[in-house]
Amino acid sequence: MAGYNVLWLQSAGCGGCTMSLLCAENPGLLETLESFGIELLWHPAVSAETGPEAAAILGAAAAGEVRLDALCVEGAIARGPNGTGRFHVLSGTGRPMLEWVRDLAAVAEDVIAVGSCAAFGGVTAAGANPSDAAGLQYDGMLEGGVLGTDFRARSGRPVINVAGCPTHPNWVTETLMLLACGGLAVADLDPYRRPRFYADHLVHHGCPRNEFYEFKASAERLSDMGCMMEHLGCVGTQAHGDCNTRPWNGEGSCTRGGYPCINCTAPEFEEPGRVFTETPKVAGVPVGLPTDMPKAWFIALASLSKAATPVRLRENAIADHIVTPPAVRDTTRR
């Protein structure tokens, strides 16, 4: 298994997905790619080539002189002004990134949108969006984007959306490894074309605050230990991602760090219509209920759970450290 060629472009974004990718460990990024025969033709933060050398690599790939197995694009594509793309010209080439992406996508075996900006527009497309930024094949929740609804890479697959803000490094490397060994089919993508190996999980799975959630023992401030769904805007019960079962660097996730999940793997997460740290409610019931749970069931479950909340959880939920430890009991059977 050798010679799987990957070209990586950074468009309109913060570069956070690359920063996350470079934090891959045990094994590191380059070791992981090498073990699957994946070669980076060029990456702006990893490769030594710059200026004319880098432009030559892009030109050779676009002309078909070098086989392009995967085109990875990080960041949204600025289509303005007036569809010319000249708000973002690739340095040293005189050509808009918009044109480079379209030319390279046309010859790539697969196209991968790395991060929610490249997938859906993300933070770059938020607000008035003066640069007319969009994702590769989505503009928010609407199909189309830069490459159009009907675009298919040479493999026959649409753009693969490795969404996240930022992406987990393993989401990127696992996608590339699956493609390199022929293990990723269209059926392995969810309705937003995110790889199912991470998108078929919920952020809620493995959250260290799950015991508080079960008893609806809720945090009232960001520093509290309780569940952040009821008051602090957490949508981990609805957000797709394995963030708490595959934490960053073996330890981190938003909820583990004391911040509510904002559903960053979804289109238009950047404009939720509310403050990220507040939960909208109707008659005291959160508007966004857990995925697959009918409202009547949630209300009944929440009422029973609150009535049965142990004192330990009720007290710890609104504290920034454990104030009431669990009781010590003999669990042996005699």
Q: Which two tokens stand for residue 226?
A: 């309780």
**DSSP single-letter state for residue 253:** -
Question: Which residues touch 116 (CB under 8 Å, ≥6 apart)?
Answer: 122, 123, 163, 164, 165, 264, 265, 266, 267, 269, 270
Residue 249: what pLDDT?
A: 83
pLDDT value, residue 7 = 98
Helices and strands (DSSP H and E) totals, the chain: 10, 13
pLDDT, tens only, 284-296: 888 888 888 888 8
Question: Mean pLDDT over all residues of the chain?
Answer: 95
Q: What is the pLDDT of residue 1?
A: 41
The predicted-structure confidence for 106-147, as pLDDT tens digits, reads as follows 999 999 999 999 999 999 999 999 999 999 999 999 999 999
Single pTM value for the model: 0.94
Domains of the chain by residue range: 4-199, 201-325
Fold classification of 201-325 (topology level): Cytochrome-c3 Hydrogenase; Chain A, domain 2 (4.10.480)
Structure tokens at 306: 């609150």
Beta bridge partners of 252: 248
Q: What is the reported pLDDT for 2?
A: 52
User: What is the pLDDT, as a whole number, of residue 50?
Assistant: 93
Residue ranges in the chain whose pLDDT is less than 50: 1
Instruction: Tell me if domain 4-199 and domain 201-325 are identical in fold.
Output: no
Instruction: Indicate the class that CATH gives domain 4-199.
Output: alpha beta
